[in-house]
Amino acid sequence: MKTSTKYSVSDAATLYKKSRATLYKDIKNGILSRDHDGSIDFSELLRVYGEPFGEKTQKRIDTSPKQNIDTPEYAYNTVVELKNQIDFLKKQLEKAEDREARANSRIDTLLTLIEMKPPQTNMTKFVDQKPSQNIATDPEPKDDGLTTPEQMESKHIPVPEQIEPEIDKRGFWSRFFKPYG
């Protein structure tokens, strides 16, 4: 490490293992400041980036206890935990199925109320109903009380006659240049 307290941007980037673009960006954003001669003071680098990376820096040692994966205790604990998770998921699935069944019954009830239909148990099926008229054997319509005898005899719909003949349609320019007639 240099003994001087001032660094150029290139030297500071090498010291902290950062790109020069990162340092210039931090200078532009006001995070890092330079002196009037363009050099960066070491105290400023230390404030922004902390201790520089060097050979003397110590690596962080993880002191948390680790359990050996190959031990039977680890395997037993894992199996027990997985069984607990399976039981939990089965209970969740049962609850979800129960909620779905209740929701479907509510939907059926609401549809019945909306349509004002009697419940399914009282309804007759279409195949159980007997037709009132067999169209293949009896082509004559039966008197249902809605049609008059005159309508029963009439085979076609009467078309009213036109009172005035229609006037031919005229084009856009003919309205201006041809006389009406």
In a domain, 82, yes or no: yes
In a domain, 63, yes or no: no
How many residues in total does the chain contain? 181
Are 116 and 80 found together in one domain? yes
Tokens of 92: 């969740």
Are 41 and 80 found together in one domain? no
Tens digit of each residue's pLDDT (9 = 90 or more) over 65-95: 565 666 777 788 888 899 999 999 999 999 9
- Lowest mean pLDDT, pick from 51-60, 79-88, 170-179: 51-60
Share of the chain above pLDDT 70, in %: 58
Name the more confident of 37 and 58.
37
Are 35 and 76 found together in one domain? no
Domain that residue 12 falls in: 6-49
In a domain, 24, yes or no: yes
In a domain, 33, yes or no: yes
In a domain, 162, yes or no: no
In a domain, 118, yes or no: yes
For residue 57, the model assigns a pLDDT of 46
What is the domain count for the chain? 2
Tens digit of each residue's pLDDT (9 = 90 or more) over 4-33: 689 999 998 998 889 999 999 999 999 889
In a domain, 166, yes or no: no
Tens digit of each residue's pLDDT (9 = 90 or more) over 99-156: 999 999 999 998 888 886 555 555 555 555 455 555 555 555 555 556 666 656 656 6
Do 23 and 13 meet the contact criterion of CB atoms below 8 Å apart? yes
In a domain, 156, yes or no: no
C-alpha closest to that of 35 among 6, 12, 4, 1: 6
Residues facing 7 on adjacent strands: 40
